[in-house]
Each structure stands twice: as C-alpha cells, then as structure tokens.
A and B are shown apart, each in its own frame.
Chain A
Amino acid sequence: MAHFDIENLTFSYPIGGKESLSGVNLSIEKGEYIVLCGKSGSGKTTLLRHFKSVLTPHGKRSGRILFNGKPLETIGQREQAAKIGFVMQNPDDQIVTDKVWHELAFGLESLGCDQKTMRLRVAEMASYFGIQGWFHRDVASLSGGQKQLLNLASIMAMQPEVLILDEPTSQLDPIAASDFLNTVRKINLELGTTIVITEHRLEDIYHAADRVVVMENGKISAEDTPRKVGALLHRQKSEMFAALPTPVRVFYESGAEGECPLTVREGRNWLTETFRDRPLSVTAPDLEPAAAETEQPALRMKEAWFRYEKESPDVLQGVSFEVPAGSLFAVVGGNGAGKSTMLKAVCGICRIYRGSVEVFGKSLKKYKSDALFHNCLAMLPQDPKSLFVKKTVREELEEMCGDAEKRAAVADVCEITALHESHPYDLSGGEQQRAALAKILLTEPRLLLLDEPTKGLDSFFKQKFAGILKKLQAEGITIVMVSHDVEFCAEYADLVSIFFDGQILTTDTPRRFFGQNSFYTTAANRMSRCVFQNAVTAQDVTALYHINREGRA
C-alpha cells in the first residue's frame, strides 16, 4: 500500500477558471524522498497543499487523495495534524509564539498532550536538532536559518509520518539552506519519514532524491530517478533543464554519453576520466579584460567605518572600494557580514563616522537628500515588499512619477505591464521583485544598489532579472549588488568583490576571482578545476569541453 496515492486530481481556483492541476496521478511509497520541481506557477504549491485537508485551497476539485489507503478527507483533523507535517516558505510567519521552547511545544499543546509527553518530546527535539543552546531565547533574536530549523523541529515533535516542504530554503542564505536540507535528509535516512519537497536550488537535494517529479502547467511531465529525469528533460528540451544542478547540465550540454554525474564529485570524476591521457589544447577560457581605469568611478568608498550603537562592534571596518561607471559590480560574502549595511552607508541611511563616500565624484555629505535620490542613486531593498504602499501596481508607479509615458517605458523594461491592476501582494516573488525594481527605476537612478536581488527567485526569474539588468547597464546605469548567489554573480557580474570581517578584501573579474578560490566558488568551477582553470560557469565548462574534444577529433 502506498503512503500517499493521488488519483486523477484536477483542481481550479474560483478566480481565473484555468485548471491549476489537471489529471495529476502520483503514488508515494513509505520512506521515499521525493523532489518536486517546476517553474513558479506550475502548480507545485497547489499540489502540496492538497496533501493536508486544512491547507487545501478552495475551488473546484475532482479526483481522489488516499493517505494510507483511506481517502484523506475521512481522516480526522487531529490525526492529519500529527501525521502530516508541513513546512512553508517564510520562516518568520510560520512562528506563532515568542519563545523557542514554547514554539517547539506548540503542536503538542494543540493536540492536548500531557505534560510528561510534552517534556520528553520537546527535550528530544531540542537535542536532535541542536537547539539546546538557544532553547530559552526569544524567537525575535534568531537568524532565518534557526527560525526555519525551529519550524521543522516543532513539526517533528508531533512525530509525523510524512513531511511536506514547500520551498523551505528560499529565504535562507546558502549555508543555512544546505544545513537545513541536510537535516531534512537526515530525518529521512534516520527516521524513515517520507519527504516531499519543492526547491529552487536543486544542487543540494537533487542527487539525494529517490524520485524527481517535474510539473509543468499543472501536469506531471516527468517522474523518475534523478538521472533519468535529467536525460528526459534534456531530450524534451524542457525549460526545467536550466534549473538542474550544474554537473547534470554540463554533462548533457557537452553531448557526453554514459552515466550522468549528479554531484560535484561525480562531475569531477567524469571530467577527469574523459580527459585522462589526453592533451588539452585549451585549458582555460579567456580571462576578461582587466577593468579599464576610468577617470571617475560611479562610487568610491574610502576607509569607511560604521557601527550601529556606541557600544556595539564596528560593522564596517575601513571599507574601501571603487565601482567603475557602467559596470555591474557584485559583492559576495557570508551572512551577517555587513554587506547590506555597506549599501545603507552608501545611501546615507547608515551614517559612517569615519572615512568618505563619493557618488559620481561628489561627497555624499554634499548632496541634499532630495538630490541624492533623484536621478542619481536608488536602492532595491532585500525584501521588495518593503517598497509597496498602494493597492495596485499602477498606483505604486504613479506615486513615483506623473509622466505616463515614462511609466509605460519602465513597466515595459521590467515586464510588468500586464500586472498593472494587481495588488502587489498577489504577485509571485519574481513579479514583486520586478515591480519594486520598476518603482525605483522611476527615480531615474544612474547608480542602482541591489540588496540580495535573487533571494527566493527560481532560475527562470533569475534569468529574466539578469536580462533586465543587462538592459539597464546598456543604458549606462551602474549597478552594485550584494549577494550570496555565487552562481549568479559569476555569470552576470563584471567585477566581483568579497566582503569579510567588515572589509572588502579583493576585487576582480569573475573568472579571475572565482578561479583562484577553491571553496567559495561556483559548482562549475569546483567540478572542473581538476582539468580546466578559471572555468566558472556551466557555459565555460561546456565550451572548454567542446574545444578540447573537437581538437582531438
């Protein structure tokens, strides 16, 4: 008997009329680890929400969902609450209470457990998830990764048989994300809990999956082991192929044959095998031309020092860097290192107490605040929602600029024309990001600051967003972006810097920069560095592969 059986499930929301799910059939065995992937709006979340009656959306529905062989709706709410765990996307909003220990116990309290059981389960969970150290803390003092781990632990305390995770790491930084996903994997291996998970970043989980299910337009378009799904998506020329882990993409785009590598290690072995005893005609892609010395940088920060309070430690400790006009400048670095603070210092939101900031050759202090944010500088905050203050996207744009033509032009660049009448909160993550971008572009900035612009975006939205950035660059706008997203920076930035311990350490072009790193670099670089040098993107590796194979032939 399968754990979950979905039979011919079709569903449409009351508004829109289009079928969000059509004829979905899926059978999940006990203890399986299933990765569900698909573009935003392909129906992943809608499908996941059908796994639990209280979360099931309202709308028209046909078909059946069986849990342990019984129709889901005949199973009591209490039993469902305990047996089917559900982790959602936003770590913050899922938390109900103000203390870590209370949140851990929340589900057990709801089920009406007695003190003895609760004590034991809470203790078990805190120990298993390594929460003892922050057991008594206020929830408000936790990092995003800790919050999401707490959500998971609170659900695991009810000892569910199935764990459903809907993009659980989209709001986390890469290190917290892989920690979280490793914990999920551990739960699956050690407790035998069935896992169904959707994710944008497949690198960390794809190889571990027993089965990968691909959704497109509300239908399941592929469903098989990771290796077979990779081959299938490549054969179908599916859009989803671009979201697969780097080794898989490199393998198929190179046109290689044999067993497809899923992890960096396998990719490394495959490349080493392929080019063993084979002279390489070209071992590295051309390095980008060194940045030309421009006469006036768009932004120059010199020896900037900043701390939030008099007694608190310095966040910026003598930051110095220059951003050449017209470039896309990326700053990478760990979480909480102070990258966002640096952007705020550029805007004057955080006032540095020593050092200087010059925007287009003029000291920040000499700008009047109106002049600085008009036709000069603008910042896209980490959470684009922070910018939304109106009922529709149209009103958001109108707030910024009275000129209808300008508005239309910017909306066109950001591809949000069709969304004008929507409420900003009804948009998907990628659309919100573009609407927010449109809003700040209406100040006609020449220097654009982006704080973690790819956070929570899937690979399609990322590509789209990169396209927009390139367009803006072509118009002469200088872009400074801070990001955790190494892959994105390697592919699209002109210059990359690393921020560590309150300082900018080095600045270089992506190939030079990532080429010399061995840990903090892209998956493509890590898997290819045994054979090639300075190949930092999947395209780089594929190109080198082709040159060397064809050179031999």
Chain B
Amino acid sequence: MKKSALFSILVIVLLIPATLYLGSRLSGHWYYLTSTLIIVEIMIPFFLAFETRRPQARELVTIAVMAAIAAASRAVFAFIPHFKPITAIIMITGIAFGPEAGFLTGAVAAFASNFIFGQGPWTPWQMMAFGIGGFLAGLLFHNRKLTAKPLWNAVILAVYGFFSILLLVGPLLDSCTIFTMGTEITPAFVGTILLSGAPVNVTHGVSCAATMLLFSKPLLEKLERLKTKYGMMEARRDGV
C-alpha cells in the first residue's frame, strides 16, 4: 500500500475522532473551530494523494483550466442574476476525469475565486462543498455509459445535479453559517438556517440543472476531443 493511502486512513480513523473528542471536551462552544478542522482533515487525504503522485504537466493544466473556467463562469452569466454554473462545470469535470480530479477542481476553484472575492471563515466549507460535488459526480458517472440517447443522459445529469445541490452541496455551504453564527446547535436553529438558505439553493440547483442539460454533452465532447487529439490526462493511465 502506498504511503499516502496509509496516511489517509490514519487521518480518517484517528485524527478526525480525536478532533471531535477534544473539541467536545475543551468547551461546548468550539463548533466552528472543531468543524472546520474536521473539514480540513477530510480534505487532506485528497490533496496528499495528488501531491505524492507528482502529477504530469498535462493533467495539472487540464485541472487548472477546468477550475479557472468554473471560477470565471459566474461572470459569463453576469446578465442573469443568481445564475451559477460553477458546480455543474465541476461535476462535469469529475464525470470526465474521475472523482479525484472532480474533487481537486472543485476545491481549487473555490479557493482561487476567494482570492478575488475574499477569503473568510467560509473558505474551507466552500472548498469541501464544491470538491465533494465533483467527487460524487465522478464516483457515480465516470466511465459509465448511461443510456444510448444523449438527451436522456443530459436529463439524468440535470436531475442529479439539482438534487445533489439541494441535498448535499447547498446544505454543506449553509453549515458554515450554522457553525459561525449559532450559540447552541438546536434542531430549530439548524432548520431555520437551512430553510432560509433554501431559495438560494433552489436557484443554484436550477442553474446547475440548466447547465447540465445544455452544456454537459458539449463539454464532455470537448474534453473527449482533447483526450484523443493530444492525449491529455492519458499519460497517467499509460504509466508514463
């Protein structure tokens, strides 16, 4: 087993429970610090795996391009208020290049765009939320043939995109608010925050679905063309 994999297991088995225990012991109010530490600890194995693999130039560039497109995509749709295609692009990257690439693209896109919009307590949460979005999409759909009809595939991805934002990415983003602003994490408080975040999450989900519907096929084709024309992202599988 590789060293990085061993370390990842160590993190998940030891470090996270330890953080939870310490957090709960030292005081009842260290929610933000404890939760953020755990978020960071979950991300460490992903980053470490990437780091120890010493990625090829082409792989690095492709992930960078997708992350930058995702980060810049909001500006392209500036004329439609609240339309955010960023998650959809991250998910499609995950679908094209696998869960790990999806995670990295999401995390890096979030981190990099915060250099423009400002880092804050939300940074790790956004990295995690977008990263997991790309990761799950990759896990479910990478290298998998859905149906023979491209339109149906787009519809499936759109539905998936909508619900994954509503149920996973959106709530993860809202969790940051819960942990930074609450004195006591009661069901009523959590419910209120999630409910007040719902309109944003629904529009986010709808824009993701719309992007999936219209853009998933062309984008996947483009990435495919790049793979065949230049062998982008292929080097790793060849073991070069």
Contact = CB atoms under 8 A, between A and B. Distances in A.
Q: Are A and B in direct contact (Cβ within 8 Å)?
A: yes
Interface of A: 58, 391, 423
A423 B225 CA distance: 10
Contacts of B221: 391
Contacts of B225: 423
Interface of B: 221, 225, 231
A76 to B, nearest CB: 15
3 contacts: A58-B231, A391-B221, A423-B225
Contacts of A58: 231
A336 to B, nearest CB: 24
A423 B230 CA distance: 14
A395 to B, nearest CB: 11
A423 B222 CA distance: 11
Q: 3 closest A-B pairs (Cβ-Cβ)?
A: A423-B225, A391-B221, A58-B231
Nearest to B230: A58
Nearest to B61: A96
Nearest to A15: B229
Nearest to A391: B221
A518 to B, nearest CB: 46
Nearest to B222: A391
A472 B221 CA distance: 36
A399 B123 CA distance: 42
Contacts of B231: 58
B93 to A, nearest CB: 20
A58 B229 CA distance: 11
Nearest to B64: A96
A76 B231 CA distance: 22
A271 to B, nearest CB: 51
B231 to A, nearest CB: 8
A391 B229 CA distance: 14
B196 to A, nearest CB: 37
A58 B231 CA distance: 10
A391 B219 CA distance: 11
A391 B225 CA distance: 10
A511 B231 CA distance: 52
A423 B221 CA distance: 12
Nearest to A423: B225
B226 to A, nearest CB: 10
A78 to B, nearest CB: 14
A105 to B, nearest CB: 17
A58 B230 CA distance: 10
Contacts of A391: 221
A455 to B, nearest CB: 24
A58 to B, nearest CB: 8
A394 to B, nearest CB: 16
A391 B217 CA distance: 12
Nearest to A93: B61
Nearest to B218: A391
A1 to B, nearest CB: 32
B206 to A, nearest CB: 24
A298 to B, nearest CB: 32
